[in-house]
Structure 1
């Protein structure tokens, strides 16, 4: 159960960093799936800030290895300001994307607050992809494949250093779960940076319980725990409404255990939910699954534990 009493919903309806259209409809799909009512029934006060505004996606070709850089910066500045405002008010910010490039703004704001409050920041990156490409390595130039590089201080200059430090995250502050699609040059970067990656082979060999015990081992009362939840982390059999689905991900039940174990720490302090694409979904099923998993993340359990 989170120590926060108020959850602030922040919609960022854009596919500015993505490869396909549709992620901009994600925030309202989560609202249709009753994210506010679900969390309210768990006892949280809900503040819905509505949707941020920003530039339309021009769908132009990459320039210098980056697609839509100026628009991505504008959207992330809005996200940064909204997350900063929520944290300053003592609320738990829940960013509803939108694509995963938006994590640059949200986690940069979170890193700034954590440092000011003397908190140790830990980020769980739930994703099929590692998102550590840069403009030099990305095959597509799509910035939703680059937010981790930006947060580690290795991305384009316009998206780095927002937290007041060269890197918003130290390499050991982020743990990846569910990874199963990594570009060749990303593999080299993961090794060079010494990143903690619990890929699908690790989950297959050790199970979700042991994996989560490892991922959460240094979470304590001095930790700000942030979850960046890309819905393509789930197997597409359970979550078809994503732009870049990859077969072989965690099952619904495995993800429930993941969320329940995060909730058990009592340290959840901020959340991104991204890459929900209703245009590719089946009767809003992926949004409904997302809300079920978020409910567990915020403390719902079958029995009193």
Structure 2
């Protein structure tokens, strides 16, 4: 893994309608992410937070897409920052912020790869569009947008689409999928490990299969980890908690195995909401998982 690591905060809370997730980057920094990764001998550069525009509440929410203009602008800013990080041969670690920021992360990252793989560690598929979303919340759409499916303002960020191919995606931990998402998964043949598969196979086999599935056909792999992938008992400070998720222990195992495989070339940790949290517990979980991903070991 690239030892030169750049942290980019994306304080986005416009992709959904619960306030507080814009404070996620601050909470993760407060939980000691810089110090934790410096102890692992990484050269850390904290670039601060990208600018996220504030919405004009008088503006109509058109086309069933909440805060479309501001979400697009914020992701354009993020994409440019991440692009610059990679051009300087550094590893981008994006901290959020709601999951709509993956639109900008992937837009800035994928242009540097022919076949970027994506591990989507999440309770949700995030494969909705304005036409299928029950809520109009863009944080439920970033994977679809990155496949080139969705509003033109979002899919064309950085001037190209699609960012990724469906055969280069693995979703891990899904347990809340809308009907439109299920149809898209079947139509595109996207590989999904639901909680049913994780319970039956075990996390070890799931990660082994995911690594094997992706490494032979990709030239880089992005990890997009939503803290609501974990069970709410372990990560209470998220906007859309879903019972029956992956445990703290399973998630550490997954990160440790990804570290051993040495395949991750960029990462983001999203949906930490300190307002909904207990004494910054979820941000501390996020930092702990980052430690495991970046090679922290007990012995």
After TM superposition, is the score higher than 0.5? yes
Partner of 1:11 in structure 2?
A: 9
C-alpha separation in 2, matches of 1:76 and 1:215: 28
Partner of 1:29 in structure 2?
A: 27
C-alpha separation in 1, matches of 2:249 and 2:210: 18
* 1:14/1:57 contact within 8 Å kept: no
**Which of residues 184, 204, 213 is equivalent to 1:209?**
204
**Which of residues 37, 40, 43 is equivalent to 2:41?**
43
Comparing 56-65 with 84-93, which one deviates more in the overlay?
56-65
Partner of 1:228 in structure 2?
A: 224
Question: Are 1:242 and 2:228 counterparts?
Answer: no
The correspondence of residues 184-199 of structure 1 with structure 2, limited to 5 A, is 184-199=179-194
Q: CA shift at 1:295, angstroms?
A: 0.2
Comparing 279-288 with 217-226, which one deviates more in the overlay?
217-226
Q: CA shift at 1:161, angstroms?
A: 3.4
Q: CA shift at 1:57, angstroms?
A: 4.3
CA 1:138–1:126 in structure 2 vs 1: closer, same or farther (change >3 Å)?
same
* 2:76/2:157 contact within 8 Å kept: no
C-alpha separation in 1, matches of 2:60 and 2:23: 23
C-alpha separation in 2, matches of 1:16 and 1:162: 17
Aligned length in residues: 297
Partner of 1:96 in structure 2?
A: 95
Q: Deviations over 1:130-185 (max 9, x none)?
A: 00000100011000000011001111111113355431111011110011000112
CA 1:251–1:58 in structure 2 vs 1: closer, same or farther (change >3 Å)?
farther
The correspondence of residues 156-175 of structure 1 with structure 2, limited to 5 A, is 156-162=151-157, 165-175=160-170
C-alpha separation in 1, matches of 2:56 and 2:282: 26
Q: What TM-score do you get using the length of structure 1 for normalisation?
A: 0.94
Gaps of 5+ in 1: none
C-alpha separation in 2, matches of 1:160 and 1:97: 20
Q: CA shift at 1:302, angstroms?
A: 2.1
Partner of 2:139 in structure 1?
A: 144
Q: What TM-score do you get using the length of structure 2 for normalisation?
A: 0.96
Comparing 128-137 with 223-232, which one deviates more in the overlay?
223-232
* 1:219/1:265 contact within 8 Å kept: no
C-alpha separation in 1, matches of 2:5 and 2:216: 21
Question: Are 1:280 and 2:280 counterparts?
Answer: no
C-alpha separation in 2, matches of 1:176 and 1:197: 5
Superposition CA RMSD, Å: 1.5
Gaps of 5+ in 2: none
Partner of 1:72 in structure 2?
A: 71
Q: CA shift at 1:58, angstroms?
A: 5.0
Question: Are 1:255 and 2:254 counterparts?
Answer: no
**Which of residues 45, 50, 53 is equivalent to 1:52?**
50
Partner SS for 1:94 = strand
Q: CA shift at 1:76, angstroms?
A: 0.3
C-alpha separation in 2, matches of 1:58 and 1:25: 20
* 1:111/1:163 contact within 8 Å kept: no
CA 1:226–1:177 in structure 2 vs 1: closer, same or farther (change >3 Å)?
same
